[in-house]
Amino acid sequence: MTRRIREIRREAGYTQERLAETCGISSDFLGQIERASRAPSVKTLQKIASVLNVEIGVLFQFEEKSLPKKKKDFERVLEDLLGLLKEKDLKVTIGVIKRLFEELNV
């Protein structure tokens, strides 16, 4: 997700500073998000997606043709995807997932 934010930001012609200012966050914080050293809240992700004129889900897109239908298959896909992450990316991903669950009151 963090690499995707950077990629979309650059495609949209935003600098870190300009995107951060427009989103109401510091450029340091946006840099930390893009480097995967801090996990943004869902609200922050919504702001970033809105300013970049994309749906929030676009920030999480990956190249998987179809999602599995059975829970065990879905768990296997998640395990495989998480296995691809470096430790720091894994920590950020877990932080984002926890915040998402908090926002959803799960």
Splitting the chain (106 residues) into consecutive groups of 10 residues, what average pLDDT does each group show? 86 96 96 87 91 88 60 76 77 85 77
What pLDDT sits at residue 103? 79
b/e map of 82-102 (b: 16 or more CB within 10 Å)?
Answer: eeeeeeebeebbeebeebeee
What pLDDT sits at residue 2? 72
Nearest by Cα to 96 from 72, 61, 60, 71: 60
What pLDDT sits at residue 51? 97
What pLDDT sits at residue 49? 94
What pLDDT sits at residue 13? 96
Domains along the sequence of the chain with CATH? 2-103 (1.10.260.40)
Q: Are 92 and 59 in contact (CB under 8 A)?
A: no
